[in-house]
Amino acid sequence: MSFSPEEFVDKLQQLHDSQDSISSSAKWLLSQYRDSDAVAETWTRYVTQKKLPDRKRLLAVYLVNHVVQQGRSQGIEQFQNSFANVLIDTLPVVYSHFPPELQDKLKRVVNIWKQRKVFNPASLQQIEMNLNKAIAANPSSSTSGSKSNGSGINKRATSIPPNVQPIASLYQKLNKNKHNIPALKSRFDNAINDLDINSVVYEENFHTVTKIAKVTQDTIKESMGNRNELIKCLQVLLHEEEKSLEQDRVLLNEIEFSLESKDPTKVGNNGGNISGGVNNNDDDVLPSYGGNDSDSDSDDKDSDDSDRDEPNNDDEVTVLPKRPLDSVEPADEPVEKKLRSSNEGEEEEYIVDGGDDNELETHEANNDTTENSVTSNIQDLLSRLAN
């Protein structure tokens, strides 16, 4: 089967941080040994893309490391020669794209090649020399620069509040699997669809698909665990922030109340005096019932006068019983005014007792009596008094 650059790029894009993913792609790549030069050129174009994520770039380096070591052990030397030619110029470019932590990983891979003598000595020497030139040309990203950048990263990390750091760590893990899970699922779907039950190697192929499924499942489960943990952390953080928000509201209300209590436009309105921020006006303290003492006293006096004006049953007019005219006492006794009225030959006397001054109230017994009858009666009375 001829080599397809598009298929190779697709496999490179589906790589993720697992031994099975690297081994599976390396196995397919080794089968393309006849086109090792085309494989190396395609790989170079892929890793030197400016917009390629650094993690994908590093995984592509790991794939080359696996291929050249497996090819050396299996006697397939084509990849050693083809990749040695491109790595001399490509590794410095890759190194310049990497942040300090990935640069260290790249240097560790080169050290492994030296220790295991993966490439011929001349190629290894040239690779190492060009890499050192890249390190020297990028001091900000090498040892001193690594400290600077590293300290910058640490500062950014330490600037994160402690209660948010677990959340940030979980987000990093989730972002790491964000692209891996779709790639793994796509790889599993392709593998399961390519299974041929009539193939003589069906059992071996199914075993490979099972491994792919296991890796995919583990990655998804890891992501689910991280999400559950993230939800718990967010709930705790939400509860803490709600409590802090309520405390802020209390403090804000206290400040507003204090300002209002000291506001000169609202305090000491009695004569414009301010006494410690307290209003001394008794009207604001004592209740008002809508009346005053003078009105109350006046009401009491009126009530007393009303009581005195009301008639007393004991002082009411007393009607004395009728008695003969012979029993009338002399005129030198207390003044008495007597009235005798006759009606059909009968006499009635009314005596009013008024205390020290007795007043005589005259009632006419009969309104039909003529003036002459009255005069006659008076004369008769005077005549009897004279006798």
Q: Is 305 inside any structural domain?
A: no
| Reported confidence tier of residue 187, pLDDT bands at 50, 70, 90 | confident
Say which range, 62-71, 173-182, 317-326, has the weakest mean pLDDT. Answer: 317-326
pLDDT in tens, 101-116: 888 999 999 999 989 8
Other beta carbons within 10 angstroms of residue 89's beta carbon come to 13
Contact 14, 60 (CB under 8 A): no
Residues 131, 13 share a domain: yes
pLDDT in tens, 141-181: 444 344 434 433 344 444 677 778 888 888 888 887 777 88
* The two structure tokens encoding residue 43: 């790989």
Q: Is 295 inside any structural domain?
A: no
Residues 363, 250 share a domain: no
Residues 175, 127 share a domain: no
pLDDT in tens, 235-266: 988 998 999 999 999 999 999 998 888 888 87
Query: Which range of residues forms the domain containing residue 253?
Result: 161-264
Residues 188, 150 share a domain: no
Percent of the chain topping pLDDT 70: 66
pLDDT in tens, 191-238: 899 888 888 888 888 888 899 899 899 989 988 998 999 899 999 889
Report the number of distinct structural domains present in the chain.
3
| Residue type for position 369 | T
Residues 143, 180 share a domain: no
